[in-house]
Structure 1
Amino acid sequence: MISKLRNAARAFACLLAATHGTVAVSMAVGAPVLLGAVGVASDFAVFTMKKNKLQSAADAAALAAARELSVVASGSGSAAKASASLSGGGPIEAIARTYVATALPDATTTTTGVTVDGAKGAVQVTLSDAWHPFFAHFLGADITPIVVDARAELVGESKVCVIALKPTGAGALSMTKNAHLEGKGCSVYSNSTNSQGISLSTGSSITADLVCSAGGVLNKGAPSGTPVLTDCPPMPDPLASRKGPTVGACNYSMTIINKKTVTLSPGVYCGGITVMNGSNVTFSPGNYIIKDGPFIVKDTSKIKGKNVAFYLTGLLSLIQFFDNATIDLSGAEDGVMAGLLFFEDPSSTVLRVHNIRASNAFNLTGTIYLPKGNLMVDPAAAVAQQSAYTAIIVNKLTVDNGPSLVLNTNYGGTSVPVPDGIRASADVVLSE
């Protein structure tokens, strides 16, 4: 189509050249020729603008639809299995069409075609716009409709180790002061569409199968790590539909363990739990509801527990692990909290800050789910390095002050199940 417009422009130019030296030709003849040349050039500019806009819409729609395909695949255990079951469209096609409609709200002459290729795990979006150029049309240049294609495919499969859910603002995922994040065999996502959605300061790095930002990345001199892909589709919260345990009446109030060795039982801990002054606490298997108070472990105190989960609800229900405390916890193996280690009430207010600053927080097996909270990890020591697996889904994640946050994916090394949407997700790329 572009060549046809160029040919039309050349035809006008030749006609103009033929008339240039002929004194007998009046300005009445020359003026329309000049006007036509300008008109064809105008058609060419409009054509280019329209095609670029259509291509951007098609690319975004294909990526978004394929990303949804990868999320469905993660719940099915196999990208091929899920994509095959969705061949023919359905919700995947609807997502693509919605993206096109959002990107081109006034495109009344545009038609959308969507093909879901189950065998290859791909989505193809074709846009056709029946634009009618004014001048090129009179020349008989057949340059309409404008047609663009975009094809996005699932490439490989990667487990999820971090999702920063914050949709806007700088530093949804922030690495500062020589901090390092290592995702072993998994992917790291920032959903912020800000141009600085991921922030890497001097000496900091992220190493993972995939590091993806819905916006951009601010690199202030970080050493080589995994290159950050930008403008990725936001990763949907795979735990958005999870329901927390029933919160009943208080079983315990203002629980403070001071210079003691004790075993605690599951229940509702109103006013929180504080472990201090070298205490040793063992948590019996079950669910612990931390209500209207913090969960504090500090100085040289130690806590441990297997098949345990902590639900944080109400005012000031925050994780606060400090100093040289030792944290050795493995999440729930069954029940409503299965797969979870920490679960923040989704109705909590935003901007609450949870702190893992303990220098011996070596085992955090399970999923840390803080959909409204900001998680600060900064003990200047390795964190979670002995966990079979750790997945972090939070509003905002900051790794600060030189720690190494190690997120393993040895799912077979623990009885803690992996929630749907975390075990595997296919990477999405534009193939055409």
Structure 2
Amino acid sequence: LFSGSTSVKLNGCSVMSNSTASDAIKVQGASGLQADCLITVGGMVLNNPVTTTCTSKITQALPASDPFGSLPAPTASGGCKNVNGNKTTQTLQPGTYCSGMNLGGDVTFAPGVYVLQGNMKINAGAVISGSGVTIYMSGSNTVSMNGNATVTMSAPTSGTYSGVLFYGDRTGTTTQSTFNGTATSSLTGAIYFPKQQVNYLGNFSGKNGCTQVVADTIQWSGNSNINQDCSSLGMKDIPATTSIRLVE
């Protein structure tokens, strides 16, 4: 769903949906969308013109496979770590955060994998940074980023979780995670939540436009420029699904 006054430009990228609903891809409000192509198993409702480079929008397509389906889930290890809520400046270390994270002030994530067994909340005014980071949300725990926070984070560029910034548990139930922030925020890497709705609300993307969003459902309500060639940042290319039709 692209709604509100959002303006999204997907350079070299397509929008794909495995939903069989008649409005599997929907553009409403004053939103604008540019993409290589729109591809869906179901149908589309386009209340505003959409600019595509393919000759026609594709419905009743073959479902796209999960591009991260073979990625193993991180396992909790070591003792429980905690965020010190009394500090205005702190550096967090990789590991298992059994109570999740409630972040304010200046917080730096050291490189590595973080397993959260509770929700992640980033409060207004927080300044969050980290490179080489993967955050795994176990169970049905969610991410909530305030629109007045500045978040600059990037995924690892090598290793098992290369290119993956946020990873939602495949065994979780349907919930919602919200990614918001100031215009200077930057989320470089894949946001992968196979069982959750992702609300992408901020007017930002990743370094060089390198942000991927793969989720159960996606609501986009912000202004973003997204690019396709991000292999130099450790991200994998996600090819558009093919579609074969028989015509008599």
Q: TM-score, normalised by structure 2?
A: 0.89
Of 164, 168, 192, which aligns to 1:344? 168
For the Cα contact (< 8 Å) 2:41–2:59, is it kept in 1?
yes
Q: Deviations over 1:321-380 (max 9, x none)?
A: 103111111102333322211111111112x1000122246321111110001001224x
Letter in 2 for 1:418: M
Partner of 2:137: 312
Q: Deviations over 1:276-322 (max 9, x none)?
A: 2xx1111111111111x11111211111111111011035x211110
The answer to whether the aligner puts 1:391 opposite 2:212 as a matched pair is yes
Report how far residue 410 of structure 1 moved: 3.6
The answer to whether the aligner puts 1:294 opposite 2:119 as a matched pair is yes
Aligned ranges for residues 334-413 of structure 1 at < 5 Å?
334-350=158-174, 352-360=175-183, 362-379=185-202, 382-384=203-205, 386-387=207-208, 389-400=210-221, 403-413=222-232
CA distance change for structure 1 residues 426 and 348 in 2, over 3 Å: closer, same or farther? closer
Report the secondary structure of 1:225's partner residue.
strand
Of 151, 159, 177, which aligns to 1:327? 151
Letter in 1 for 2:89: T
Report how far residue 243 of structure 1 moved: 0.7
Distance 2:80 2:35 in 1: 42
Greater CA drift, 296-305 or 385-394 = 385-394
Q: State the percentage of identical aligned residues.
A: 27
For the Cα contact (< 8 Å) 1:280–1:303, is it kept in 2?
yes
- Unpaired runs of 5+ residues, structure 1, are 1-173
Q: Deviations over 1:102-122 (max 9, x none)?
A: xxxxxxxxxxxxxxxxxxxxx
For the Cα contact (< 8 Å) 1:183–1:208, is it kept in 2?
yes
For the Cα contact (< 8 Å) 2:25–2:44, is it kept in 1?
yes
For the Cα contact (< 8 Å) 2:189–2:206, is it kept in 1?
no
Distance 2:246 2:160 in 1: 40
Report the secondary structure of 1:289's partner residue.
strand
Distance 2:57 2:206 in 1: 23
The answer to whether the aligner puts 1:190 opposite 2:17 as a matched pair is yes
Q: Cα RMSD (Å) of the superposition?
A: 2.2
Distance 1:385 1:267 in 2: 24
More helix by share: 1
CA distance change for structure 1 residues 426 and 373 in 2, over 3 Å: closer, same or farther? closer
Letter in 2 for 1:265: Q
Partner of 1:418: 235
After the TM superposition, which parts of structure 1 deviate over 6 Å for at least 4 consecutive aligned residues? none
For the Cα contact (< 8 Å) 1:286–1:307, is it kept in 2?
yes
For the Cα contact (< 8 Å) 1:388–1:413, is it kept in 2?
no
Distance 1:258 1:325 in 2: 18
CA distance change for structure 1 residues 412 and 233 in 2, over 3 Å: closer, same or farther? closer
Of 198, 207, 211, which aligns to 2:34? 207
Distance 1:236 1:308 in 2: 25
CA distance change for structure 1 residues 182 and 388 in 2, over 3 Å: closer, same or farther? closer
Report the secondary structure of 1:371's partner residue.
strand
Report how far residue 212 of structure 1 moved: 0.9
CA distance change for structure 1 residues 426 and 192 in 2, over 3 Å: closer, same or farther? closer
Q: Deviations over 1:35-90 (max 9, x none)?
A: xxxxxxxxxxxxxxxxxxxxxxxxxxxxxxxxxxxxxxxxxxxxxxxxxxxxxxxx
Q: TM-score, normalised by structure 1?
A: 0.53
Report the secondary structure of 1:336's partner residue.
coil
Q: Deviations over 1:136-167 (max 9, x none)?
A: xxxxxxxxxxxxxxxxxxxxxxxxxxxxxxxx
For the Cα contact (< 8 Å) 1:361–1:384, is it kept in 2?
no
Distance 2:51 2:188 in 1: 25
- Unpaired runs of 5+ residues, structure 2, are none
Letter in 1 for 2:139: G
Distance 2:240 2:29 in 1: 30
Distance 2:94 2:42 in 1: 42
For the Cα contact (< 8 Å) 1:385–1:405, is it kept in 2?
no
Distance 1:216 1:404 in 2: 24
Letter in 2 for 1:353: Q
